[in-house]
Amino acid sequence: MKARTTPIIIYIDRGQMSFYVRGVAQIPTVDLSQAVVDLEIKNAEQVAQGIKAVLDGLKITAGEGYVVFSPNVVFEKDFAEGGEEVHEKEIEDFLKMVPFGRMRHRVYRVGKGCKVVVVNRDFYESMGEILSKMGVGGVAMLPASVVPVAGLQNGLTGSIGRDLLNKLGILSQLHFDYAEMAAKNAAAENSPDPRINKHLLVLLGVFGALLVILGIVAVMAGILPGQQNKRSPAKAPAVVAPPPPAPIASKSANEPVKEASAGAEVDLAATTIEVLNATGASGQAQNVKETLTAAGFKNVQIGNAPTIQAAKVQVVFSPKVSSGVREKLLTALTPSFGELATRESASQSFDVVVTLTKPVSSTSGLSGQ
């Protein structure tokens, strides 16, 4: 049987890892009690072998991995009112109490307050490296306590796994390293494409070679006629009547235009879109839905996500979305939001996921160390 590629949910609890992929009947697990001690990986090879056994048993080549940390393997503290800027000193004191030599933390905005979550950095990085070597790319790591799926903090089940696969866009945004990844994507969008520079150099080289060849031809053309004139008298050039212009076949462009237009309308109607409101202000997703509906998109759903601070609205396309549909959607949103941050992901449940973010100039609780 040919291995299939699919998103995979990995739930890490104290002493074991659980796995979920779409359609799995039972939740496979890997025993970590011997390989991981006090949240430090003591035997990476044993962990890798356990993951490989699960993937081989399910006949899976994992696409994008989503690692969810149980509350039992992280340190957390909630603050009822205000964001990180209000509780900066308290958060700093809490981090000093965490018994990790190296740590990774993020402050999440939760309702009117915030939550700081800390994970052992050595464990976090080692697990990411192991999964990468096993072919699990695009790994997002996040705490279970901030995921809007009921019961997740108690463990992974089939129904919870299905809910998580329907919220992959949200899981990516809850990643401990989301702020850094968003900054890198923005920098990549603003930097010149090295392939364009390479193509430009090739074109300049070809153009320069053509100039040299033309120069040689011009010089030779000036020398040879002069030598020929010494040997024989010049002959008058024969006048050749130009051929009559070829008739241009007329064609009607009406039918192809209609077909293209109809095809575009079908694409718009069939495109599934999810609009997530991560601004912290109500009504924003509904406004965008009305804008997209007016532009011809018929299948638009809206939802809420934890507040996210970013310079640009995030738009994630499935690779199967055509360039015409992308251009139509971006054209519809640009008047309201200006430049948009776009990327591709093959593992989301919708063709397009639009995440409305809180402007950078406003107060936000996202941070990382």
Neighbours of 209 (CB within 10 A): 10
The predicted structure's pLDDT at residue 348: 73
Per-residue pLDDT tens digits for 176-233: 988 776 666 555 555 565 555 666 677 777 777 888 788 787 767 765 555 555 555 5
* Mean pLDDT to the nearest integer, 55-70: 85
Among candidate residues 276, 253, 283, 270, the one with its CA nearest the CA of residue 324: 270
The predicted structure's pLDDT at residue 233: 52
Higher-confidence position of 168 and 309: 168
Higher-confidence position of 37 and 117: 117
Domain ranges of the chain: 4-176, 264-357
Among candidate residues 158, 130, 128, 112, the one with its CA nearest the CA of residue 46: 130
Average pLDDT, the chain: 82
For 68, the token pair is: 């969810």
The arrangement of strands across the sheet holding 341-344 comes to 299-304, 272-278, 352-357, 314-317, 341-344
Do you know the residue count of the chain?
A: 369
The predicted structure's pLDDT at residue 259: 44
Among candidate residues 74, 273, 269, 99, the one with its CA nearest the CA of residue 169: 273
Q: Using 50, 70 and 90 to split pLDDT, how confident is the model at 315? A: very high
The predicted structure's pLDDT at residue 77: 95
CB 21 within 8 A of CB 12: no
Please determine, for residue 278, whether its predicted confidence score (pLDDT) is greater than 90.
Answer: no
Please determine, for residue 159, whether its predicted confidence score (pLDDT) is greater than 90.
Answer: yes
pTM above 0.75, yes or no: no
CATH of 264-357, one of 3.30.70.2390, 3.40.50.150, 3.30.470.10, 3.40.50.2000: 3.30.70.2390
The predicted structure's pLDDT at residue 361: 61
Please determine, for residue 307, whether its predicted confidence score (pLDDT) is greater than 50.
Answer: yes
Per-residue pLDDT tens digits for 101-119: 899 999 999 999 999 999 9
CB 337 within 8 A of CB 313: yes
Please determine, for residue 235, whether its predicted confidence score (pLDDT) is greater than 70.
Answer: no
Domain 4-176 fold is Nucleotidyltransferase; domain 5 (3.30.420)
> Quick one: what percent of the chain has pLDDT higher than 90?
52
